[in-house]
Amino acid sequence: MKFNCSKNDLIQALQIAGRAVATKPQTPILSGIYMKASEGTLELQATDYEIGVVCKIEADVEEEGILVAPGRYFSEVSRNLPGNTVTLTNDNNDNTIHISSGSAHFTLLKMNSEEFPCIRPLNNASHFTIRDTVLKKLIRKTSFACANDETRLIFTGCLLELEEEAVRMAATNTHRLSLDQEVLEGYEGDKKQVIIPARILGELEHGLNSDIPCDVTVNISYNEISFSFDNLYLTSRLIEGQFPDYHRVIPSDFKTRVTIDTAAFMAAVNRVSLIARSSEYNIVKLDFSMGQVHISSNSPEIGHAEETVPVVIDGPDVQIAFNGTYITDVLKHVDTKEFYLSLNESLNPAAVRETEDEAFIYIVTPVRVSR
């Protein structure tokens, strides 16, 4: 095998593929990066069995071939090469990979390519296409609300729900729920629900960074999902299990609706949270009355913080306590200058909505503070 390619293209591809290289591989081969050179293209693959990445770049292929290079060393060597063009050669009878660029020359031992679990496109899968900007927004507005706690696996993923002409994404850690939806033009398939691990969504959000809008093709089989766009193909296992009925947790009506300046409120809650203790759920108390919200937190052994922000209160006054993190988390993803906070009583869930976008809703439960 022999090819020449742009060093920058190679580095970029390795960066993306590198995220799927197993850090603690179940078998040694998973620490490698698979390369296939053919017809002007170099294809790179990496997988840790949970997720898989395939990335293609242009290359001047002189001799076709397949090999697996040790992931970490190949990435680090490539990143540090001088010059602009990389030449990689491998004699089929030989156990080594030769990499040269500019004045530098490296030889790396190759891995056994027959052992590598190649990533193949999903067969027998239902599929749809979605604009990259739409998919990215859905991910950005929901995946932050997932649980980190691996003990409840279904909450470490986002629910993707497809209906005629509509796509929804929801995430919860059982104390908060984030839900966003978009029109899905041309989708006429069955109603479908799958739970996608937050990890692949993170990689996807990372990869969806092109300035030129594109379509993403999504394939869903019974236990896997894949996303392909540009020169990238990402695949992941789905999380098995039943996502709880999130409609049930969205209150049908609220007694009080408060309109709040997003940036001012977020900054104030951030400041007041400095005094809240993580061991006690970062409690931040909110007291809505007289056209303002009084934000406070108190830790007997640390100190006390308070701040007020003017708001517009529509309905009865409310006092309520939240985990401050759950409030600042969502406000980072609110895109409007002002937002609505809808409330009932002090132990009822509250809702955060954007003033100009009906599609997004965030439900958060208060913290119960003993009497």
Partner 1 sequence: MDRWILHVDMDAFFASVEQRDHEEYRGKPVIVGGLGPRGVVSTASYEARRYGVHSAMPMATARRLCRDGIFLSGSYETYRAVSKKVFSVLSRFSPVIEPLSIDEGFLDITGMEGLMESRREYGLRLKKEIFEATGLVASVGIAPNKFLAKLASDLEKPDGLVIIEKEDIMRVLSPLPVRRIWGVGKKMNERLALLGIKTIGELANTDIKILEENLGTHAARQLYELSHGIDNRPVEPEREVKSIGREETFTEDIYKREDIDKALLYLAEQVGWRLRKAGTMAHTIQLKIRFGDFSTYTRRKTLEQPTAYDEEIYETAKELCSSVTMPRGMGVRLLGISGSGLGTSSEISLFSARDTQKKEKLYGAIDDLKARFGEGIVTKGNLIR
Q: How far, in Å, are 7, 69, 70, 80 from residue 96 at the CA level?
A: 20, 9, 11, 20
Element (DSSP H or E) covering residue 270: helix 262-273
Minimal distance in Å, beta carbon 3 to partner 1?
A: 53
| Phi, psi for 319 (deg, rounded to 5) | -115, 135
Buried b (16+ CB within 10 A) or exposed e, 335-363: eeebbbbbbbebeebbbbbbeeeebbbbb
Straight-line distance from the first to the last Cα atom of the chain, in angstroms, rounded to the nearest whole number: 73
Nearer to partner 1, 120 or 368 (CB): 368
CB nearer partner 1, residue 110 or residue 176: 176
Residue positions counted in the chain:
371
User: What separation in angstroms does the CA of 307 have from each of 223, 267, 286?
Assistant: 49, 10, 10
Q: Quick one: 8 or 174, whose CB is closer to partner 1?
A: 174
Phi and psi torsions of 131, nearest 5°: -65, 140
By beta-carbon proximity to partner 1, the closer residue of 54 and 177 is 177
Q: Please, are residues 276 and 318 in contact by the beta-carbon 8 Å criterion?
A: no
Identity of the residue, 94 or 345, whose beta carbon is nearer to partner 1 in the bound complex: 345
Cα distance between residue 72 and residue 20, in whole Å = 12
Q: Which residue's CB is nearer to partner 1, number 53 or number 145? A: 145
What are the Cα distances from residue 242, in Å, to 151, 251, 276, 349? 15, 21, 35, 23
Enter the tokens of residue 224: 């896997």
- Whether 40 and 97 have beta carbons less than 8 Å apart is answered as no
Which residues form the interface with partner 1 (CB under 8 A)? Answer: 172, 174-177, 244, 248-249, 279-281, 283, 321, 323, 345, 347-349, 363, 365-371
Q: Which is nearer to partner 1, 293 or 321 (CB)?
A: 321
Compare residues 185 and 345 and give the one whose CB is closer to partner 1.
Answer: 345
**Cα–Cα distance, 49 to 46 (Å, whole number):** 9
CB of 179 to partner 1, least distance (A): 12
CB of 349 to partner 1, least distance (A): 5
Our CB check for partner 1 shows the closer of 82 and 300 to be 300
| CA–CA dist 116, 30 (Å, integer) | 7
State the minimum distance, in angstroms, from the CB of residue 219 to partner 1: 31
Minimum CB–partner distance for residue 330 and partner 1 (Å): 14
Least CB distance from residue 154 to partner 1, whole Å?
12
Residue 114 to residues 49, 89, 260, Cα–Cα distance (Å): 16, 18, 60
